[in-house]
Amino acid sequence: MDDADSIDLSDNDEFMLDVEITAANVQDAINMALADDDNSNSNLTTNVDLPQLSDELINFDGNKFGEELLFKIDNDNIEKILYQHWKTFVPQCYIYHTNLIKGIIEQRTQEILFRPLDIYLYGTLNTDDAIQIIRSYNKKSTVCGHLFKSEEPTYFCRDCCVDPTCVLCTDCFLQSEHRKHRYKMNVSAGGGYCDCGDPEAWKQNVHCNLHLPHDDNNESADDILNRLPSDLRLRAKNLFNILLRFIIKLLCTGNYQDIPNELKNEYWDGDHKNYVTILFNDEVHTYDQVIHVLSRAIQCTKQEGHELASLVDREGRTAIRIGTTEQCRDVQQTIRIRTADVPLKCEIYPNSFISLQYFAQKLLTYLQNIIELSDGFRRIFCECEIECDDELDDITRTEKALLSEKMLWKSARSALHQIFINSFFMDSEWKKTFAILYMKNYSTVWRNFVKDPDEYVSFTDLSVQVYTVPTLCYPMIIRHYRTDFSFLYRADCFLRLSVQLFTTNSLAKYLISSHNAFQTIVDSFLEYCQSKLDHGKLLFSRTTNASLQHEFRRAQSILYDLKYLLGVVPQEYTVELRENFLNGFRVFLQLLSYMHGMDKVARQVGQHVEFDPEWETAFNLVIKIQSIISSILDWCAQDKELLLGAYEATGLALAEIQKTSDISHLIKDKNNSSIVKTTVNDLKVDCYAYDVAKDPISVHIPVVRLFVGKILIKERKTKN
Ligand SMILES: [Zn+2]
Ligand SMILES: [Zn+2]
Ligand SMILES: [Zn+2]
């Protein structure tokens, strides 16, 4: 229980004030904040003062309000009452600290905002006991699903893992047989989860001792749900629906006027001093550039500029000015003018809107803690996630979130990402449901990711620029590739869910055979490649345009998805699986044809070549495609029918390439005297006389290589 006299600050260190404040010494804190302001002559710190807690905030009784909610018979009204409550209190509870570099602080949020929700959900003031009882309904979990934080250790077993993405958390590993096997330790980049208990991830020793299966294992999902009392289920469903609807409305919008009018307070439109200029993250500008621009726009010191830039880097956005519309617009204009080449993204909102959005983010964490309590809650929550709100044109809330990615910022995106994992991914049926929604929207999500880079990545540091200079040599590319560079681009994007979905063997097969996933992925990439075509071949030119360079790297990361999807070779093939694999394979051949014969060079004599043509991009592409090709060959080696289909398609592609190839430079005269007769393997053939010292050659002949690979498999098959 909360001490009613204390001011509740976030449990999140990042937003905590240095001093612990109670109602008794709140004035001291304000004085201190003011004193801070006096010391520095910066505009930054004098924008707004930490307001004295209003009587309204101090006297609010969360228990009383919670009980009021609970005893409302008519459930329909609860959303209205909550909206009214949030409209009044959220903008007071979440405010920017006087000193903007300290970000948003929280005042009595537990008592005012969350306690009433708890009381409503659990149906009692004694929520602690209720939680104990709800926990006791759970059966012991047979899967772990622990979410990895960045830099947390993970364990991979060479003997038992189905593929290298299957990992254990430390707790599970220490309690498993794998500690006696040939294991490898790794450090997580964050966002993945422990695979303990997933039969598709392990060849043997699926469960650790903590997650051993038990006797009543054949209990159905309905049984899990039915163990919760029916009134609790009803309230949970109602509350989750209200909260999710609110969260999606607030987070997935680019326009603050779009949110329901019931949530807009008096500081929304018109004249007031409570507007805020928000600076967003991007991948193009360096810290130094941002700090420099900030020092001009808001006259802050270098140190303050650095603090603000780090805050933006961590959260994805932050406030840099609070004041009237004019004051905020001035700052915005200065920033836009000073970064005219690629403007830093910077928007003006009413401060209350930012508070509501911040609250929506906090609600996601709140919901996550609730669904972790009970399998039943988790199931109800999943149901709410795939519901449609009328105004969303028939798409589910989950899809709405996936498609709104470009409007989200780092911390909001990662909060949604976590809740997807914690809800859908903990149950194979729901995971499948999510996978279908994901696949349905894959191309759009991917296109947004490639084309709208505003906020996916942090301000670049210098090492990125170093890697992209033209003097790059081959060993460096290899090293570069090994560190999975382009993969880093996905660190904060929904697309990193791909690895969780596509490496689940049965799901991958299902997505290929029933949702044509192979073709969808390649199609997306092909569509992107259209703009890079020159006479039917991919052509990359040197560019110093950083955002273009980043764009193609992001685009290439789609090839990882393909690698995951085809990573595990199926044991059985169905008609649909073969058919859709071949569909995907045919478009993949199209991609190879675009690469076949690209970057042709003729030997130069007599003059020094001053500028190397761009060759690194093609090389990077080939390296990535290599592992996909070997997966494709593995798939074909398992199934004769598939092999024949793929063999034929490759042959046709090769014939097409031959037909459309430009060979004019080889025809030396009209009598075709450049044709020579030769014998290969007792086979007489006509071919063009080709002088490698004079004629242009290309090292990229992927279709021929693929064809040879197929022939080898075919020979092996017929021998057996
Ligand atoms: Zn675990
Ligand atoms: Zn375990
Ligand atoms: Zn093992």
Please tell me the distance between residue 505's alpha carbon and the centre of ligand 2 in angstroms.
20
The predicted-structure confidence for 166-210, as pLDDT tens digits, reads as follows 899 999 999 999 999 999 888 887 778 899 988 888 999 999 998
Among the bound ligands, name the one nearest to the CA of residue 201. Answer: 3
Kindly write down the DSSP assignment for every residue of 482-523, as one continuous string: HTTHHHHTTTTSGGGHHHHHHTSHHHHHHHHHHH-HHHHHHH
- Which pLDDT does position 492 carry in this prediction? 62
Does residue 586 or residue 76 have the better pLDDT? 586
Mean pLDDT of the region 432-438 = 89
- Which pLDDT does position 15 carry in this prediction? 27
pLDDT band at 120 (very low <50, low <70, confident <90, very high): very high
Give this complex's ipTM: 0.91
Please tell me the distance between residue 213's alpha carbon and the centre of ligand 2 in angstroms.
11
Closest CA relative to residue 434, chosen from 473, 378, 477, 486: 378
- Which pLDDT does position 131 carry in this prediction? 93
Closest CA relative to residue 638, chosen from 573, 712, 583: 573
Please tell me the distance between residue 201's alpha carbon and the centre of ligand 1 in angstroms.
13
pLDDT surpassing 90 at residue 384:
yes
Please tell me the distance between residue 143's alpha carbon and the centre of ligand 2 in angstroms.
6
Please tell me the distance between residue 168's alpha carbon and the centre of ligand 2 in angstroms.
7
Quick one: CA torsion of 376, 381, 387, 391, rounded to 10 degrees? 150
**623 and 556 Cβ atoms separated by less than 8 Å:** no
Q: What is the DSSP letter of 429?
A: H
Please tell me the distance between residue 182's alpha carbon and the centre of ligand 3 in angstroms.
7
Please tell me the distance between residue 213's alpha carbon and the centre of ligand 1 in angstroms.
14
Please tell me the distance between residue 540's alpha carbon and the centre of ligand 2 in angstroms.
48
- Which pLDDT does position 478 carry in this prediction? 34
Please tell me the distance between residue 179's alpha carbon and the centre of ligand 3 in angstroms.
7
Among the bound ligands, name the one nearest to the CA of residue 208. Answer: 2
Please tell me the distance between residue 198's alpha carbon and the centre of ligand 3 in angstroms.
14
pLDDT band at 468 (very low <50, low <70, confident <90, very high): very low
Among the bound ligands, name the one nearest to the CA of residue 207. Answer: 2
- Which pLDDT does position 666 carry in this prediction? 65
305, 318, 457 from 461: Cα distances, Å: 16, 20, 11
Classify domain 153-218 by CATH number: 2.10.110.30
Closest CA relative to residue 696, chosen from 505, 551, 541, 537: 537
Among the bound ligands, name the one nearest to the CA of residue 198. Answer: 2
- Which pLDDT does position 329 carry in this prediction? 95
Closest CA relative to residue 242, chosen from 77, 422, 107, 95: 77
150-164, 239-253, 673-687, 701-715: segment of lowest average pLDDT: 673-687
Among the bound ligands, name the one nearest to the CA of residue 146. Answer: 1
CB atoms within 10 A of CB 14: 12
Please tell me the distance between residue 180's alpha carbon and the centre of ligand 3 in angstroms.
7
pLDDT band at 124 (very low <50, low <70, confident <90, very high): very high
Closest CA relative to residue 344, chosen from 450, 211, 454, 269: 454
Please tell me the distance between residue 173's alpha carbon and the centre of ligand 1 in angstroms.
7
The predicted-structure confidence for 343-365, as pLDDT tens digits, reads as follows 888 999 999 999 999 999 999 99
Please tell me the distance between residue 185's alpha carbon and the centre of ligand 3 in angstroms.
13
Residue 688 DSSP SS3: strand
pLDDT surpassing 90 at residue 697:
no
Domain ranges of the chain: 153-218, 275-354, 461-719
Please tell me the distance between residue 172's alpha carbon and the centre of ligand 2 in angstroms.
4
Among the bound ligands, name the one nearest to the CA of residue 147. Answer: 1
The predicted-structure confidence for 581-613, as pLDDT tens digits, reads as follows 999 999 999 999 999 988 888 888 888 877 777
**Length of the chain, please?**
720
Task: Name the residues around ion ligand 3, CB cutoff 5 A.
Answer: 157, 159-160, 178, 181
The predicted-structure confidence for 495-504, as pLDDT tens digits, reads as follows 778 877 887 7
84-88, 682-686, 690-694: segment of lowest average pLDDT: 690-694
Mean pLDDT of the region 282-307 = 88
Classify domain 275-354 by CATH number: 3.30.1390.10
Please state, in angstroms and rounded to a whole number, the distance separating the CA atoms of residues 639 and 644.
9
Closest CA relative to residue 526, chosen from 415, 443, 638, 610: 443
% of the chain exceeding 90 in pLDDT: 41
**99 and 44 Cβ atoms separated by less than 8 Å:** yes
Please tell me the distance between residue 185's alpha carbon and the centre of ligand 1 in angstroms.
14
Run of H or E including 562: helix 558-565
Please tell me the distance between residue 164's alpha carbon and the centre of ligand 1 in angstroms.
16
Please tell me the distance between residue 447's alpha carbon and the centre of ligand 1 in angstroms.
34
Please tell me the distance between residue 366's alpha carbon and the centre of ligand 2 in angstroms.
25
Phi, psi of 53 (to 5 degrees): -60, 130
Burial of 377 (0-12, 13-18, 19+ CB in 10 A): buried
**396 and 383 Cβ atoms separated by less than 8 Å:** no
Among the bound ligands, name the one nearest to the CA of residue 153. Answer: 1
pLDDT surpassing 90 at residue 391:
no
Closest CA relative to residue 632, chosen from 554, 576, 574, 559: 559
Does residue 226 or residue 475 have the better pLDDT? 226
- Which pLDDT does position 75 carry in this prediction? 62
Among the bound ligands, name the one nearest to the CA of residue 142. Answer: 2
Please tell me the distance between residue 571's alpha carbon and the centre of ligand 3 in angstroms.
22
Place of tokens 């250790």: 153
pLDDT surpassing 80 at residue 386:
yes
Please tell me the distance between residue 568's alpha carbon and the centre of ligand 3 in angstroms.
18
Among the bound ligands, name the one nearest to the CA of residue 180. Answer: 3
Among the bound ligands, name the one nearest to the CA of residue 181. Answer: 3
Please tell me the distance between residue 127's alpha carbon and the centre of ligand 2 in angstroms.
29
Mean pLDDT of the region 467-491 = 37
437: left (phi over 0), alpha (psi -120 to 50) or beta: alpha
The predicted-structure confidence for 502-532, as pLDDT tens digits, reads as follows 877 788 889 999 999 999 999 999 998 998 8
- Which pLDDT does position 43 carry in this prediction? 40
Please tell me the distance between residue 385's alpha carbon and the centre of ligand 2 in angstroms.
27
109, 120, 233, 424, 500 from 239: Cα distances, Å: 18, 8, 10, 19, 29
Mean pLDDT of the region 312-335 = 92
Please tell me the distance between residue 209's alpha carbon and the centre of ligand 1 in angstroms.
11
Place of tokens 């005297």: 673
Mean pLDDT of the region 411-424 = 88
Please tell me the distance between residue 252's alpha carbon and the centre of ligand 3 in angstroms.
43
How much is the mean pLDDT over the chain?
A: 81
Please tell me the distance between residue 205's alpha carbon and the centre of ligand 3 in angstroms.
7
Among the bound ligands, name the one nearest to the CA of residue 159. Answer: 3
Please tell me the distance between residue 165's alpha carbon and the centre of ligand 2 in angstroms.
16
Among the bound ligands, name the one nearest to the CA of residue 179. Answer: 3
Does residue 451 or residue 581 have the better pLDDT? 581
